[in-house]
Amino acid sequence: MRRALEYTIYDHELKDTKKKLEELETRRESSSSVTEKLRENLQNAAEKIKKLSKELREVKSRAQSQREEKEALSQEQASILKEKTRLELTIKDLKDEVEGDDSSRKRAERELTRLKDTIAQKTALLDNIRPQYEAQKRREEECTRELSLKEQKRTELYAKQRELSLKEQKRTELYAKQGRGRQFTSKAERDKWIQKELKSLQKAIRDKRDQIDKLQEDTLRDAEKKLMLEKKIEELTRELENHRSSIDGQNKSFYEMKKRKDTLQTERNELWRHENSLQQNLATLKEELSKKDQGLRSMTGKATLNGRDSVRKVLQTFREKGGSYENIANSYYGMLIENFDCEKTIYTAVEVTSGNKLFYHIVESDRIGTKILQEMNRQQLPGEVTFMPLNRLVYKDMDYPNSNDAIPMISKLNFEPKFEAAMKYIYGKTLICRNLEVATQIARTSNLDCITLDGDQVSHKGALTGGYLESDRIGTKILQEMNRQQLPGDLTFTRHTCSS
């Protein structure tokens, strides 16, 4: 009887407990649904905030670009206004010249009219005096004929006078001869006088010849000088033509160069605007990278990222030294997170699975890691560093269950074959499951850890971890976005893929 009562009580308590358990399960499912909805809303809000922040930065960047473009356009406008003023002054000068030409033309027209009037008056006067002119012309012709006859008579008279003069001269010579005959008392005296006259005549002849020679020399010099001057005139004429051609060519070249200068000025303005836009984009990218780097530092801790920076300083030192040190630098492959990529949908799962192992440094061998650590210590560089030497990593190939609800995480990662050991060492024992129930079931029946896309993790040892993880605080997402936004020449997030 007692056992029956105890059974009844226990059965009643069991039913109450099951009922309460069902209520709790219902509430849990409802709470899970609400939590999921809130998480989704929070995720959407975070994405929207991120999108709006990006749009705000872009708007600020465009506004700055527009301001600088406005300044450039203002300067260009000022230059154009200056050129416009210069052209207006030139046009005014040309108009003044045209007006001056018009004034000159009007003066010339007035002068032409006056001359036409004068011509008309003179023509009328000429018509009036023409009969008198004709009469005078006829009288002149008659006088000319009479004068010609008189001139002919005068010429005949002159001929007779010359003949008379010759006869007179001959008579004078005869008288002189007769007088000289009486002048000289002897033949010797006469010969002496003749010799004296002969010398005088010879001297006069020599003087005339010297004068003729001098005149001929002057004529030759003048002829040579004339030829020289004509040659020089020809040379100067050719030089003038050359200068004129050169000036024409220079003017043409000047206008072509001016046209090219205007074209290049326009191109320079366009390039300046493009450069300004690129600088704005560059500033925006640098700002985004800086924010992401700050977010990464807040997540991973100062020591880890200081260690990353210290390793890069050591590698730079090795490359500057060259030789065997450069081989050491080339045997460093970067952090784990820098050597693979994956789809955005599994960022959270990858982040939870690897944790801070994302920032482990992959090297070819333990010797390389030791050399880098020794140099860090020698330079007294700050930070913490964990190396993954590929020659020391040991992993076991796993048998994954054949299920549509679970896939190996390693199969969703993209990496170079030489990093297979590092990837399998970290991600080889993890499955990505459809939901938490599937993850729990597979983890119990296999030697594999399971994780959902939301980051809820079930260990094969029985531990269950999870909770909401903000998308903006996922290191995988941040660093891969930083790698995609990598700036040319910026070595902040350079991936080292050189082989030894």
Last residue of a domain, one of 107, 125, 143: 125
Kindly state whether residues 363 and 214 are assigned to the same domain: no
10 within some domain: no
CA 109 to chain centroid: 59
CA 410 to chain centroid: 48
Q: Which amino acid is at 337?
A: I
Question: Residue 389: its pLDDT value, please?
Answer: 95
Kindly state whether residues 266 and 312 are assigned to the same domain: no
Question: Residue 377: its pLDDT value, please?
Answer: 94
pTM: 0.48
Strand-pairing partners, residue 389, are: 363
Residue ranges, the chain, pLDDT below 70: 1, 28, 32, 101-102, 104, 133, 140, 172-184, 292, 295-300, 466-500
Domains in the chain, number:
3
Which domain, by its residues, includes 109?
A: 39-125
Kindly state whether residues 254 and 318 are assigned to the same domain: no
CA 302 to chain centroid: 42
Question: Residue 14: its pLDDT value, please?
Answer: 84
CA torsion sign for 126, 128, 130, 133 is: negative
Question: Residue 176: its pLDDT value, please?
Answer: 64
Question: Residue 236: its pLDDT value, please?
Answer: 84
Contact 376, 385 (CB under 8 A): yes
432 within some domain: yes
150 within some domain: no
Kindly state whether residues 113 and 253 are assigned to the same domain: no
Question: Residue 81: its pLDDT value, please?
Answer: 87
- The H or E element spanning position 465 is strand 464-465
Kindly state whether residues 117 and 240 are assigned to the same domain: no
305 within some domain: yes
Kindly state whether residues 255 and 372 are assigned to the same domain: no
Question: Residue 297: its pLDDT value, please?
Answer: 65
440 within some domain: yes
Distance between CA atoms of residues 253 and 245, nearest Å:
12
**Residues 393-410: tens digit of each pLDDT:** 988 888 898 888 899 999
Last residue of a domain, one of 252, 270, 288: 270
Q: Which long-range contacts (CB under 8 A, 24 or more apart) does 192-198 make?
A: none
CA 380 to chain centroid: 45
Question: Residue 420: its pLDDT value, please?
Answer: 93
Largest separation between any pair of C-alpha atoms in the chain: 224
Q: Which amino acid is at 324?
A: S
Last residue of a domain, one of 125, 148, 180: 125
Contacts of 370 (CB under 8 A, 6+ apart): none
Kindly state whether residues 306 and 450 are assigned to the same domain: yes
Question: Residue 406: its pLDDT value, please?
Answer: 92
**Residues 47-84: tens digit of each pLDDT:** 888 788 878 878 887 787 778 778 878 888 888 888 88
Kindly state whether residues 235 and 305 are assigned to the same domain: no
280 within some domain: no
Strands 414-415 and 340-341, bridge-based pairing: antiparallel
Kindly state whether residues 322 and 420 are assigned to the same domain: yes
